[in-house]
Structure 1
Amino acid sequence: MSRFTSPLLTVENLTVEFLSDDAPVRAVNAVSFEVSRGETLVILGESGSGKSVSTSTVMDLIDQPPGDIVSGRITFDGVAIGNLRGEPRRLINGRKIAMIFQDPLAYLNPVYTVGRQIIEIFECHGVASGKAAREQAISLLRRVGIPNPETRIDQYPHQFSGGQRQRVMIAMAIALKPDLLIADEPTTALDVSVQAQILDLLRDLQNETGMALILITHDLEVAASMADRVIVMNRGEIVEAGAAKDVFTAPSHAYTKKLISALPHGDAAENSNKRSTTSSEETVLKVEGLTKEYFFSSGMFGKRQSFLAVNDVNFEVKKGETLGIVGESGSGKSSVARMLLRLAEPTSGKAIFAGEDIFSMNQARLLAFRRKVQMVFQDPYGSMNPRMSVHTIISEPWAIHGDILPKAKWKDRVVELLELVGLKPEHADRYPHQFSGGQRQRIAIARALASEPELIVCDEAVSALDVSIQAQVIDLLADLRTRLGLSYIFITHDLPIVRHFADRIIVMKQGEIVEDGTTSAIFGNPSHPYTRSLLEATPVPKWVAAGA
């Protein structure tokens, strides 16, 4: 029998539809679940399975229309809240129930400092103001792992890495110590060491306050390390539910079995890996002494300061090879990627591609270079024009370069690319906001493949995907590497994935490479303490940690 006996939140027979041009789309169908104080309920399922819609309905965040709550009853702490609006709802949202969203950049206001946005929570709920609110905001930033919080509290969202923005969102959500925290993919953008810190933080909060936690995730390792109970959703319905240990060790439904089998665990990544078998000694890209220093001022009249984001980085990528880059958020991984695409200019260094320094190319040469080197960004929504359809987004490289594909073949090729990344032909006529985060990332990968590149820089390219789609995308990338001789720079915080896919790995910390070697050597015999700390931060199933 469960040790959790008194439900804090109960959802009964919830059905939600969305209006469309044809017939209403049923996103959630007769879903029921509950969570008690101090309990962690994990909701698993693929993108579009209804996980986020179910919990957004609890917070009254479904726009009506196009959303329509067809049926269902939602009870929180003994009170029916499904129809609460206005002031009664505001007394619950934020203070009693808080939510961490999947895409932090979309929910942080770009014109306000992160400190202003955290302080606003205290002020709106009458908890604190002025200096006291600022001190509490600094304390929260420190607690979620933001370095130098006294300084960074006055910076803006764009000045933080994706993982750091997620930590800011978590600080905002836990500011008022809610009774129920709904976490929608809270560790998606985080590397394993910071992920471990955040998960420990959530556990500590539960121990301190008795907070209930609903965790939505596609990361089965995170789910296993956190869950007391698990529900598995597919196509808007719950297909399996039970104690975490039972679901993970003895799943009964075919869909659950598929999810668990798609995850590369430990030595399994060595035995069934997707590393290259066709890499050559031909160098595609050679990076020498790459350095990037950023300058900023604190406040309007503050003293000008500098930050060394990348310091004397050197590496090579061979034809047909996958180079993995791992390290904490803010370690310089994404800065390296952006410089290689000339999206940011280096302070010094060279990057030689096809015998030419990327940083010396004129505009004409740079255009030709960008056909051969593509990037899949960490934030798919921020890298797409919201006014462009998926067809236009994917076909844009053909319009820019002109000689890749005749226009008469664009429609068929868009459909082929969508199907390659696990989407449907009818998705071509939709817009980015109509897709989940994982689906948007698949569109970004399809767009990168459209120009038939030689090198693809993947910046957390599969971090927003559930494990079954991760496996499909990795299989796709591996197959394209073999057939087309593609090379990859694969930036990720997901160690099982990089172990499964990369041929070599470089480990970055505070802008520098601290370890460089083959994947087998890095995982089998790491030499640097930082690398060892990353490997040791891998989540452990809750029942194993408890000795059950």
Structure 2
Amino acid sequence: MTGTADPILEVRGLTVDFLSDRDPVRAVSGVDFHVSHAETLCILGESGSGKSVSTSAIMGLIDTPPGDIVAGRMFFEGRDLATMTEEERRDINGRKIAMIFQDPLAHLNPVHSIGRQIAEVFETHEVATGADAKRRVVDLLRRVGIPDPEHRVDQYPHQFSGGQRQRVMIAMAIALQPSVIIADEPTTALDVSVQAQILDLLRDLQAEYGMALILITHDLEVAASMADRVMVMKGGQIVERGDARSVFTRPQHDYTQKLLSALPHADDTDKHRRSATGAGEPILKVENIVKRYALSTGLFGAAKHVHAVNDISFEVNRGETVGIVGESGSGKSSVARILLRLNEPTSGRALYKGDDIFRMDQRELLKLRRKMQMVFQDPYGSMNPRMDVRSIISEPLRIHRDILPKDRWNDRVVELLELVGLKAEHAKRHIHQFSGGQRQRIAIARALASDPELIVCDEAVSALDVSIQAQVIDLLADLRTRLGLSYIFITHDLPIVRHFADRIIVMKQGEIVEQGTTQAIFTTPQHSYTRSLLNATPHPKWETGAASHLSVRIS
């Protein structure tokens, strides 16, 4: 649905600097954009492109200092936001323009119930109080799809799933039926089916209330499925804009073409399958793994258990990539942690080259971890910020002292950095001085330090920009070919796993519901759950066919 000719929100010549120890850093430079009633404008760009800063300025959310709006004017319904009094601005924020943030857990107060926090919106704007406010909150929760809202209104943020917390944030945003919603990466890191539900909810709300939607994202498929118009940003500037179909099918700027080319394409999905060494004999055999947790039921209650993993069996061959897909809570990460003995299984066997991992003592387990390594989703959270990169990468060499003499550690660190596409001088820096993609490369370098044969990647690229994702996948594939590595690749990103894995395991509620070759899973899925995952992948808004995902080939 396209908007009317007159914009409801307009930004002209916005320029924003951030103060630093040296010269100011220009985050946004001369940005112009607008959005009309019932229209969806998607702002695309990688991390650091200025897309979030541009919209934060509209809401007055840029801290000054260090931020400084150097130039530009912003108009809502023809009124200049900069000339409004604080009281007039407060009346607009929340009531007329509302924002949905990327990380709901960071923006919801953990010590207040979600009902209390949503009710505050009504009370702050003097719309409703007390029982009337609570009734409105329950209606809102029901509207955004929270089950049993009468009961859950008194629960706390930690008692909701990631998708449900995002629904709570949406309920807060639409409480006063604003004219404009700004959604900043509202589906980042959500499972594909939960992402589809959130996008469907935003479409329904937009149709119901006629609101304008500004959607900030680095997910090209999400943008293609939602946008009427698209604005592409790089380095704080707009490099391309236009109607969504034109931008996605006939991109004019080199940067837009680069972003689209980084997407996995239907016609090259076998590009990274099977390394040059070929898949050899089984290196890992997983047999009937069970992980059961006891639930507290009170002093005299009967014992109850929940199965995080239930009777899981599969194999990984030498030089092969096995993908494990499924929604949050399906047991994917539990399997990974059990195989590395970070969690202990309830029963079952895992045979690495014939030896049962679960029967190994500490000395044997230490030797195993030389050959089985893990790359976690959050590299910043899995590396010590007080250590420089040299110390981080050489840590496995200190633990396994028989790998390499100490006088060769520095040479090995440089070799590993260059292997993952970084430079020798990076060894002196600390982890906070790197981008997300660079941190993940450092995590991979650390995993390679012990000369492993099998690497478990747990959502290793899920939070990265599309072009950085492509670089990391290319790197993993290259290392597989050069070093004969095997991978267990855990993800909720179906296009990525289709691009990279030889075989796929589909998990739901702790069980394997389907497994087979990548080709078979994507072309002839047998289980209804697998089909539902595939159908949840976003489709371009202008497409009426059943294309599996956005597939744009740049010549």
Deviation of 1:417 (Å): 6.2
Summarize the Cα distance change of 1:190–1:17 in structure 2 as closer, same or farther, 3 Å threshold: same
Supply the AA of the counterpart residue of 2:102. Q
Supply the AA of the counterpart residue of 2:260. I
CA distance in 2, matches of 1:112, 1:301: 31
Supply the AA of the counterpart residue of 1:16. V
Counterpart check, 1:253 vs 2:253:
yes
Map Cα deviations across residues 168-212 of structure 1 (whole Å, 9 max, x no partner).
Answer: 544544454433222222222123222222111110010011121
Tell whether the 8 Å contact from 1:96 to 1:180 is kept in structure 2 after alignment: yes
Matched position secondary structure for 1:309 = strand
Tell whether the 8 Å contact from 1:276 to 1:503 is kept in structure 2 after alignment: no
CA distance in 1, matches of 2:380, 2:40: 29
Tell whether the 8 Å contact from 1:7 to 1:37 is kept in structure 2 after alignment: yes
Paired positions, count:
546
Give the match for residue 512 of structure 1.
Answer: 511
Deviation of 1:441 (Å): 5.1
CA distance in 1, matches of 2:382, 2:455: 16
Matched position secondary structure for 1:204 = helix
Give the match for residue 234 of structure 1.
Answer: 234
Give the match for residue 464 of structure 1.
Answer: 463
Give the match for residue 100 of structure 1.
Answer: 100
CA distance in 2, matches of 1:253, 1:296: 56
Tell whether the 8 Å contact from 1:297 to 1:303 is kept in structure 2 after alignment: no
CA distance in 1, matches of 2:90, 2:56: 15
Supply the AA of the counterpart residue of 1:246. S
Matched position secondary structure for 1:276 = coil
Summarize the Cα distance change of 1:298–1:231 in structure 2 as closer, same or farther, 3 Å threshold: farther
Tell whether the 8 Å contact from 2:44 to 2:231 is kept in structure 1 after alignment: yes
Q: With the length of structure 2 as denominator, give the TM-score of the two structures.
A: 0.83
CA distance in 1, matches of 2:339, 2:135: 39
Deviation of 1:413 (Å): 6.9
Matched position secondary structure for 2:266 = coil
CA distance in 2, matches of 1:459, 1:345: 18
Tell whether the 8 Å contact from 2:274 to 2:319 is kept in structure 1 after alignment: no
Deviation of 1:72 (Å): 1.8
Give the match for residue 183 of structure 1.
Answer: 183
CA distance in 1, matches of 2:404, 2:165: 39
Tell whether the 8 Å contact from 2:179 to 2:211 is kept in structure 1 after alignment: yes
Tell whether the 8 Å contact from 1:154 to 1:299 is kept in structure 2 after alignment: no
CA distance in 2, matches of 1:54, 1:359: 52
CA distance in 2, matches of 1:84, 1:296: 55
Give the match for residue 48 of structure 2.
Answer: 48
Deviation of 1:418 (Å): 6.5
Give the match for residue 328 of structure 2.
Answer: 329
Matched position secondary structure for 1:542 = coil
Summarize the Cα distance change of 1:390–1:14 in structure 2 as closer, same or farther, 3 Å threshold: farther
Summarize the Cα distance change of 1:345–1:239 in structure 2 as closer, same or farther, 3 Å threshold: same
Tell whether the 8 Å contact from 1:104 to 1:169 is kept in structure 2 after alignment: yes
Tell whether the 8 Å contact from 1:505 to 1:516 is kept in structure 2 after alignment: yes
Summarize the Cα distance change of 1:226–1:276 in structure 2 as closer, same or farther, 3 Å threshold: same
Deviation of 1:318 (Å): 1.8
Deviation of 1:256 (Å): 1.0
Matched position secondary structure for 2:41 = strand
Tell whether the 8 Å contact from 1:327 to 1:333 is kept in structure 2 after alignment: yes
Tell whether the 8 Å contact from 1:144 to 1:197 is kept in structure 2 after alignment: no
Deviation of 1:381 (Å): 5.2
Matched position secondary structure for 1:241 = strand
Summarize the Cα distance change of 1:146–1:531 in structure 2 as closer, same or farther, 3 Å threshold: farther
Tell whether the 8 Å contact from 1:275 to 1:500 is kept in structure 2 after alignment: no
1:41-190 alignment runs, 5 A limit: 41-82=41-82, 88-110=88-110, 117-118=117-118, 121=121, 124-125=124-125, 165-190=165-190
Map Cα deviations across residues 475-504 of structure 1 (whole Å, 9 max, x no partner).
Answer: 111001111222222122222111110000
CA distance in 1, matches of 2:63, 2:175: 26
Matched position secondary structure for 1:190 = coil
Summarize the Cα distance change of 1:192–1:312 in structure 2 as closer, same or farther, 3 Å threshold: same
CA distance in 2, matches of 1:68, 1:366: 54
Deviates more, 1:197-206 or 1:346-355: 346-355
Give the match for residue 9 of structure 2.
Answer: 9
Tell whether the 8 Å contact from 2:323 to 2:497 is kept in structure 1 after alignment: yes
1:163-312 alignment runs, 5 A limit: 165-270=165-270, 272-296=271-295, 306-312=305-311
Matched position secondary structure for 1:74 = strand
Deviation of 1:331 (Å): 2.0
Map Cα deviations across residues 28-65 of structure 1 (whole Å, 9 max, x no partner).
Answer: 11111111121111111222211222222222232323
Summarize the Cα distance change of 1:165–1:267 in structure 2 as closer, same or farther, 3 Å threshold: farther
CA distance in 2, matches of 1:169, 1:419: 43
Summarize the Cα distance change of 1:68–1:503 in structure 2 as closer, same or farther, 3 Å threshold: same
Deviation of 1:357 (Å): 3.9
1:303-452 alignment runs, 5 A limit: 306-380=305-379, 382-383=381-382, 397=396, 444-445=443-444, 447-449=446-448, 451-452=450-451
Matched position secondary structure for 1:527 = coil
Matched position secondary structure for 2:492 = coil
Tell whether the 8 Å contact from 1:441 to 1:465 is kept in structure 2 after alignment: no
Supply the AA of the counterpart residue of 2:462. S
Matched position secondary structure for 1:543 = coil
Q: CA RMSD in A?
A: 3.9
Supply the AA of the counterpart residue of 2:527. H
Tell whether the 8 Å contact from 1:232 to 1:239 is kept in structure 2 after alignment: yes
Tell whether the 8 Å contact from 1:166 to 1:189 is kept in structure 2 after alignment: no
Deviates more, 1:447-456 or 1:484-493: 447-456
CA distance in 1, matches of 2:95, 2:55: 16
Deviation of 1:139 (Å): 6.2
Supply the AA of the counterpart residue of 1:500. H
Based on CA coordinates, which of the two structures has the bigger radius of gyration? 2
Summarize the Cα distance change of 1:510–1:502 in structure 2 as closer, same or farther, 3 Å threshold: same
Map Cα deviations across residues 383-440 of structure 1 (whole Å, 9 max, x no partner).
Answer: 4556666666556555655666777877787777677667788877777677776666
Deviates more, 1:445-454 or 1:337-346: 445-454
Map Cα deviations across residues 190-242 of structure 1 (whole Å, 9 max, x no partner).
Answer: 23222222111110010011121111222222111111000111111111011
Supply the AA of the counterpart residue of 1:535. L
Deviation of 1:248 (Å): 1.0
Matched position secondary structure for 1:10 = strand
CA distance in 2, matches of 1:440, 1:357: 33
Deviation of 1:86 (Å): 5.9
Summarize the Cα distance change of 1:546–1:173 in structure 2 as closer, same or farther, 3 Å threshold: farther
Tell whether the 8 Å contact from 2:3 to 2:39 is kept in structure 1 after alignment: no
Tell whether the 8 Å contact from 1:217 to 1:223 is kept in structure 2 after alignment: yes
Q: With the length of structure 1 as denominator, give the TM-score of the two structures.
A: 0.84
Tell whether the 8 Å contact from 1:320 to 1:487 is kept in structure 2 after alignment: yes
